[in-house]
Structure 1
């Protein structure tokens, strides 16, 4: 696979040069054309939404896509992303069509990028909606595709964004990322630079409640029966995305093992299921080795994304590092304990009716933000930073949250559960 670190390096170095050059070109053309804006709100026939990194982020963006559909009902929505995100798009069904960039190799990346740009040019797309906060690639791709207007987030340290973004949105790190994505659609729809009506607008759009297909549920249930799993299911996800400082965001593996034993000691009829991708199987098995109870099972590498969602739908609880599966579980309204060691739940907390979060109250958090490109901390590369904040969180700290959610529900966290069903 095309190395993510190399991809980010290219995006930073080459992307900055390309965006500056494109900004100069656009300024020159604007001087020559002097096109007039009559103040009318835009009307679009085709919109290309661009979101590349993290399938969990696509889940978080799903309310914005629903708002976009409602705001521009006559527009065709194309979703442009990496090929690795194909499964989550098929689950969410948030666009009319999807176009994919292949990251399996540098050659595949280059070829597929040019093909997607040619397709977007041929389709005469009116608007590129850039849902990346710091990547340069979406705006470069939009210019390659000849898309006339771009909407995205204006960050002051990248002055070329002022020129390349025809509709510059406000990034507000005091709001959840779901609402930050929604704010850009609100701006498109209303032109309200002060977001006076945004609070009412954002409350209208929630994560969809997806419908689990029978074939995936039956496959998961058969797998559980094969391993003599019955009773309550508690899922633990000890992994985090390989794209961004995974070690910093992981709770120590031995504590996950101890947590599994503690949960099972207090819930004698339950089973603990460890999950992970095929590439994470070795690490998850190592986590499993720290647990002494025989009712701990690893299904790492054995479930598709749809099957993982089916597992969440029958689970009593998910305990997880900040990661894509955490957001995926929100689609089935699974009770979630989310662990945050490098980022803040203010921006990325799971959104479901029963949620608890654990985040050390350290000045260092969040470590990685859109302002430092999410690849450095205190001037050091992210991969060199140890998971010291995670080590400050004890097993008992997490058990308190687990107990709160395993008890019969006394109240919800105020999240509106009136969500559309996606088949």
Structure 2
């Protein structure tokens, strides 16, 4: 199942279940008369944090997880997520246990969800924090866990999911998401997020770093000044986040001519899309390599750490690089970069805010219908100039431009019966 199929099933099945369970859940709540005071009067013994989709969002939650564990060091902190994230999350010393759901098929989702609920109920969970905002599935899992207190986010105060929680926090999308996560942690007594606190990456082992070094020696078997990492990919929830392959090809061509090795990255399914950039380069691809799918997730962190610069669309790669002291340039459009990106003296972004941007996380179908005018305004010459400055160690102020028109075109039309 792709992400859009999961989203459609979540809305149809999840909505029906939430309506069906509304009255029984409210009746049971009245009968049990639990103490829902937060912060809890008695330190919780068992805490569950759930985030299923998006490794980037999970990384954004790591400061919150650390704060919760610091506040309640004796509590068992369990993370509920997809099976594909398990090994990655087990590397954190502040996470005690990881429970997983397999999303490879609808049948597997149902089977593993029932198994997970069967494990959660006997544990008598004190606090369940659901970090999914748009998922009814996440809300139902929090209810079925039978947790004493169930905390979640919402963009509004009343919807079909609201009754599934005991505490609902407004998600202010104008704030960086890591601060939103921090707010829900503060609700249960954890310390607020300090401005100096960055995202926490899983530390690679010495053997993984050595393995990556050996792979790089084989892949880039020529002299070079360093490795420029280019990520042209975005998830299927919003392909409009991609900058054009022609733009990435221009950047790759320029820096390979300057003596750098260029690595085009991605997951195994993205390898074919990445290869399209290699094909655009033709005879200029001598120092450019398609490494999509070459590294495991832990190895990929070690690989990024050994790079000279990362250039990426908004994606999980961006968040992975945020955990490291590696120069980074983000190319943003459908998502406001300040929501997830953390600019500093060695990280910056380019963002042209057209009338219809940001649209991701707000509408299912982008108003541009795939013609991502916000990303098209980013020029290869700009990207190359900022990359050169970052490579020289300069601090580059983020380029945020409000673009009121694009070729006199009206943007943001969601419905037009005349077409």
Q: Normalization by structure 1: what TM-score? A: 0.86
2:403 equivalent to 1:403: no
RMSD of Structure 2 on Structure 1 (CA) = 2.5
Aligned mates of 1:52, 1:356 — CA distance in 2: 28
* Structure 1 residues 9 and 122: CA distance shift in structure 2, 3 A: same
Describe how 1:7-406 pairs up with structure 2 within 5 A.
Answer: 7-32=6-31, 41-42=40-41, 43-156=43-156, 158-189=158-189, 198=192, 201-203=193-195, 205-208=197-200, 210-226=202-218, 227-229=220-222, 230-242=224-236, 244-246=237-239, 248-265=240-257, 268-291=258-281, 292-350=284-342, 354-369=346-361, 371-372=362-363, 375-378=364-367, 384-406=369-391
Instruction: For residues 321-374 of structure 1, give each alpha carbon's deviation from its aligned partner in whole angstroms, at most 9, with x where no partner exists.
Output: 1110111112222111011121111212146652111111212111122x44xx
Q: Using the TM superposition, name which of 336-345 and 30-39 deviates more.
A: 30-39
**Corresponding residue SS for 1:359:** strand
Instruction: Point out which structure has higher relative CO (alpha carbons under 8 A, 6+ apart).
Output: 1
Change (3 A) 1:21 1:156: farther
Kept in 1: contact 2:353–2:374 (CA 8 A): no
Structure 1 gap segments, 5+ residues each: 191-196, 414-423
Q: Report the 3-state secondary structure (helix = DSSP H, G, I; strand = E; otherwise coil) of the residue aligned with 1:183.
A: helix
| Shift of residue 21, structure 1, vs aligned partner | 3.3
Equivalent residues, number: 393
SS at match of 1:74: coil
Mapped partners of 2:161, 2:75: distance in 1: 25
Distance 1:209 1:368, change over 3 A: closer
Give the 3 Å change call, closer, same or farther, for CA 367–188 of structure 1 in structure 2: same
Query: Secondary structure at 2:310's aligned position in 1?
Result: strand
* Alpha-carbon separation, structure 2, partners of 1:38 and 1:149: 9
- 2:278 touches 2:285 (CA, 8 Å); kept in 1? no
CA 1:272–1:282 in structure 2 vs 1: closer, same or farther (change >3 Å)?
A: same
Q: In structure 2, how many angstroms separate the alpha carbons of the residues matched to 1:18 and 1:391?
A: 42
Contact 1:48–1:79 under 8 Å retained in 2: yes
Distance (Å, rounded) in 1 between the aligned partners of 2:176 and 2:35 = 35
Residues 59 and 201, structure 2, Cα contact 8 Å, conserved in 1: no
Find the aligned partners of 1:215 and 1:139 in 2 and give their Cα distance.
40
**Deviation (angstroms), 1:218:** 1.9
- Flag the 1:25–1:302 CA change in 2: closer, same or farther, 3 A: same
- SS of 2:61's equivalent? helix
Question: What's the CA shift for 1:26?
Answer: 3.1
Q: Distance in 1 between matches of 2:342 and 2:195?
A: 16
Distance apart, 1:161 and its partner CA: 4.0
Structure 2: 5+ residue stretches without partners: 399-419
Provide closer, same or farther for how the CA distance between residues 30 and 91 of structure 1 changes in structure 2, counting only shifts above 3 A.
closer
Length-normalised TM-score, structure 2: 0.86
Q: Per-residue deviation at 1:241?
A: 1.7
Q: CA deviation at 1:159?
A: 2.4
